Amino acid sequence: MKGLITFCAAVLILAAGSAHADMINFDSLADHELVDNQYILEFGADFNGSARISAFPSSLYPFHSSPNVIENFNFDYIRGDIQIDAVGTEWLMAGGYVTGAENVTLTAYDSSDAFLGSDSTGGANTVGNGTPNMFLSVSAPSIAYVVFSISDNVFTVDDFTFNPVPVPAAVLLGMLGLSVAGMKLRKSS
């Protein structure tokens, strides 16, 4: 029994420690394309049509790793927030490299719309005005969605990064609990 518990605990620790970060760099989309549900199947991230691709951003808004960034303009070129929903598996961390003409805030929420945390640029961070491509991130259990926001100006996000909740670890923890309970029942009979 001790061997089984030790084995299950070791597997659980390895699975929990193997959580990886996923990153979306937007290279697969075309200039001015509306970002919506293109990343649901591969990444479990839904952008809700609240951003569009800028393949060649202004020199004030440089890209972080590739020419494609997302801007806070929808299809009608109306400025707004960029909301990204976790689809299937919630996140433990979410963030991105942000450049904005004024303070940009990243806010995380759980599935009941409760505030989980936020991070911000602290002011404008375009070229010549602060440090462009500031990495904003929030870490919290069970992030259901995040919102990048600005009062009424332009901002870009590159390399959206997130850590999914490690589902296999939860399954292994359940298996470990059932195994221990089964062993105790067997021992008491």
In sequence order, the 6+-apart residues with CB closer than 8 A to the CB of 188 are none
**pLDDT at res. 82:** 96
For the chain of 189 residues, list the mean pLDDT of each consecutive stretch of 10: 50 49 94 94 92 86 91 75 96 97 97 98 94 96 96 92 79 61 61
In sequence order, the 6+-apart residues with CB closer than 8 A to the CB of 50 are 35, 72, 74, 80, 81, 82, 83
pTM as predicted: 0.78
DSSP symbol at 79: B
**pLDDT at res. 116:** 98
**pLDDT at res. 79:** 80
**pLDDT at res. 15:** 46
The rounded distance, in Å, linking the Cα atoms of 36 and 56 is 20
**pLDDT at res. 106:** 98
What is residue 163's three-state secondary structure? Answer: strand
**pLDDT at res. 109:** 98
In sequence order, the 6+-apart residues with CB closer than 8 A to the CB of 146 are 83, 84, 91, 94, 106, 107, 108, 109, 138
**pLDDT at res. 81:** 93
**pLDDT at res. 179:** 65
Q: Are 169 and 20 in contact (CB under 8 A)?
A: no
